[in-house]
Amino acid sequence: MNIYLKRFLQRGIAFGGLGPIIVGIVFYILSLTLEGFSLGGGEVFLAILSTYILAFVQAGASVFNQIEEWPLAKCTFVHFLTLYLAYVLCYLVNSWIPFDINVVLIFTAIFAAGYFVVWLAVFVSIKAVSKKLNAKIK
């Protein structure tokens, strides 16, 4: 098995369970705060299953940044695309956003902006640490 696929699966399995736990907490809070809030068993099952898959993919996708043969742009694009597809499909399947092209475009813009901000913050912090380490070596 490809080492990166193996790492993807290992990370996904290790961290995938957090998604359903978070969904459970959110549903519990909603049931306490919204009068008349209720979900059917199918809705709960779909939410738990889809958030497990979402967390699995998100945890596993971190492997793309470790493929040394790929340029940074390719790693970032594949990581972004993998996360975007997982999120948009999860949100659409659960009807957390309506299947409307305008809503999906707004979701896409917000997701891309959020991804860029997080990626830029990580990139800048790694550059700063690298610069400090290189200065100590010299």
Q: What are the sequence ranges of the domains in the chain? A: 3-96, 99-138
Torsion over CA: 76, 77, 80, 81 (sign) = negative
* Tens of pLDDT, residues 55-88: 889 888 988 988 889 998 999 999 999 999 999 9
Rg (CA), the chain: 18
Evaluate if pTM is beyond 0.85: no
- Ordered alpha helix ranges (H), the chain: 3-15, 18-33, 41-60, 72-93, 101-137
CB 9 within 8 A of CB 59: no
What phi and psi values does residue 62 have, to the nearest 5 degrees? -65, -15
Residues 6+ apart with CB under 8 A from 19: 51, 52, 53, 54, 55, 56
Q: What is the pLDDT of residue 81?
A: 96
